[in-house]
Amino acid sequence: MKQLALFESAPRVSFDEATVGLIAKLFGETTSLSVVGALLKTKGLHHSAGSWEQLFEKRIKPALGAGTLAMPELKRWLAQAEEFGRCHSFLYRAKATVARDLLHEDKVHAAATKNGVARLITNPLVLDQPDRPTIADVRYDDDPRGRSLVVKVVEKREERTFVGERVEGDRVIKEWTRKDARAVNVARLYPSGIFEIRVQSHWSSVNYENDVARVWRMVSDFFPPANFSPLSLAPAKKDLWDRKDQLKKAVRFSDSTMRNHNGTTLTAATGEEQSDLLEDTGAKASVDMFLSHGAYWDGSNVWWLKRDESEVPSKDIHVLLSGKTNEFAVTANCTKRDFEYVFDQLLAALG
């Protein structure tokens, strides 16, 4: 009773109910109850709930009101949930001196002001499906790779789903339904010069050039394109295969596509999702043989495997190393930690 009295008499912190409601909706679309519950637990807050409604009404809103959870922190959690996984990333490189200059607070503030988004530096937007692509966040993130600048663009896209076909007279008519979908895209620059444009995956497309161009146009004042050149992942694809025996417990290969300068393409693809190409001695030998005759890597379909001896990745992570030479895709939703693990593994494989 004493605790309840203390709670009731504690100063209430006001918060925007509409924004919290939208965050609840977006959490529901991008992550799981257990993930957000775990985040509450790290702060020593009540975290159990059987539904999103319960989690927000009985845990998150009371914590916001009591000041034990702040809105910026909730927005950061949303960023972690929505920015990683189900994405195609494109890597570029700038000189480290150029990157450090672009990362300077004065430069960032000037670019943000020019784009009318300076207020976002301290107060990111929470957007569902804006009518036009919109810069929603401009922030610095700290991680072992250094302090990066992250600019987030949220947009509405049209996704099409095939429904079926019917015959009418001498015509065969195929039908698709159109549906608006939300997409979260991110541009991120490190002091080393490594630059990433991360585009949310489409359901029915493999060509992301237009998406990359559109996102980059929006963030070009922060990251002027002339400073960057594509960072090819070809050395990483080669390195992963060269070290395949060492990486046996960490990486599983599903598909490998190689080309040579005669224009010949060779693909080795496993029969099933869980199969490992390396367990097929004939396929493994064929790939090695083709490579030894001057072939080069075109595409690779790999899984970074969950291992007992490590917390990351938290589950098997499927990565496509195909498309553009500087492109990789993490095809399923994943945690920030798991995405960063894959990111680091790829950078390490680049040497």
Contacting residues toward other proteins, per CB under 8 A: 88, 161-164, 201-206, 254-255, 257, 267, 269-273, 301, 318, 320, 322, 329, 331
Residue closer to other proteins, measured from CB, 221 or 280: 280
Shortest separation between residue 279's beta carbon and other proteins, angstroms: 10
Structure tokens that stand for 267 in this block: 């693909």
Q: Of 180, 140, 134, give the one whose Cα is nearest residue 153.
A: 134
Residue closer to other proteins, measured from CB, 164 or 263: 164
| Complete DSSP assignment for 206-232 | ---HHHHHHHHHHTTTTS-GGG-EE--
Residue closer to other proteins, measured from CB, 148 or 300: 300
Shortest separation between residue 178's beta carbon and other proteins, angstroms: 14
Residue closer to other proteins, measured from CB, 55 or 283: 283
Shortest separation between residue 163's beta carbon and other proteins, angstroms: 8
Shortest separation between residue 206's beta carbon and other proteins, angstroms: 6
Q: How many helices (H) and strands (E) does the chain have?
A: 12, 11
Residue closer to other proteins, measured from CB, 303 or 343: 303
Question: How many Å separate Cα 152 from the centre of its chain?
Answer: 11
Shortest separation between residue 197's beta carbon and other proteins, angstroms: 17
Shortest separation between residue 269's beta carbon and other proteins, angstroms: 3
Q: What is the largest CA-CA distance in the chain?
A: 81
Pairwise CA distance, residues 108 & 140, whole Å: 10
Pairwise CA distance, residues 213 & 219, whole Å: 10
Residue closer to other proteins, measured from CB, 159 or 221: 159
Burial 218-248 (b: 16+ CB within 10 A, else e): bbebbbeeebbeebebeebbbbbbeebeebe
Pairwise CA distance, residues 318 & 324, whole Å: 17
